[in-house]
Amino acid sequence: MVDPRTSRTRAADAQGDPELTGATAEGHGARASGCRARPRGQAVDTCAETSDTLRFLRSWRAAPLRVAAIAPSGGALAALITSEIGMHHAPVLELGPGTGVFTKALIARGLDPEALTLIELDAGFASLLRARFPQVQVLEMSAERLRVQQLFGGRKAGAAVSGLGLLSMPPRTVMAILTGTFRHLRPGAALYQFTYGPRCPVPRPMLDRLGLDAKRIGGTFRNLPPASVYRISRVSAAPQHLLPEHGR
């Protein structure tokens, strides 16, 4: 959902599996659009969802190659992609958060907002995220720079969540993002990535080269197109020179 190098493809994920539940993003712009804030506990905030969808659409129209989505992800996908992450995974890294749907789901699962770091290239989304989640660290940068970026005061993250559209990126860019991400993950930690494609968005030769493996953990079927979520993790027996910290 950031530039073609870190593009975000959250387009049609507004709905998910019927059995999945999860939080949707809070809207900040309801007042400007004439919408009233929903009462606490109400299941759906239509105005907030509309506001975020319009924000994505405007961003996409202004820079379709940089913002590869016209709508934010929905609560069901957020619930799925964060389903294996808990408080013990802190700190957690999120790539391409957009309007913060996955961010809100992570916090709902018990993550301390101060234990989250968001990587967002789009200036408008970065500003929105800082307003919505003032305790969360938001870095306005390309995910390609993760390999040289210092995070978490030297600590390693227990998980990473990605809303980036890897399928729309050149292989070199995907390689850089994976290398940088796993540089910040501790042993046993995983990157959770969603895709609209029929298989993992990281091709097998690249996974093998980086000493990684991918497993599909589920999918959402009410999206157009449907989306799947993959858990990408290190292969424990991978040679050290092939692990992402040392990848090229």
> Domain of 32: which CATH number?
3.40.50.150
Choose among 230, 171, 155: nearest CA to 196: 230
How many domains is the chain built from? Answer: 1
Instruction: List C-alpha distances in Å: 176 to 1, 144, 161.
Output: 16, 5, 16
> What is the extent of the structural domain holding 154?
4-246
pLDDT tens by residue, 191-237: 999 998 899 999 999 999 999 999 999 998 866 678 899 999 999 74
Identify the band that residue 128 occupies on the pLDDT scale cut at 50, 70 and 90. very high
With a cut of 60, say whether residue 14 has pLDDT above it.
no
Query: Whole-angstrom Cα distance, residue 227 to residue 102?
Result: 15
Please, what's the b/e burial string for 17-43 (b: 16 or more CB within 10 A of its CB; e: otherwise)?
Answer: beebebbbbbbbebeeeebeebeeeee
Longest dimension (CA), the chain: 58
Residue 137 structure tokens: 């660290």
Query: Whole-angstrom Cα distance, residue 158 to residue 86?
Result: 9
- Mind giving me the DSSP string for 175-203? HHHHHHHHHTEEEEEEEEEEESSSS-SS-
Query: Whole-angstrom Cα distance, residue 233 to residue 157?
Result: 13
pLDDT tens by residue, 83-119: 999 999 999 999 999 999 999 999 999 999 999 999 9
Residue 70: burial class (beta carbons within 10 Å; 0-12, 13-18, 19+): middle
Q: Report the pLDDT value the prediction gives residue 61, as an integer from 0 to 100.
A: 59
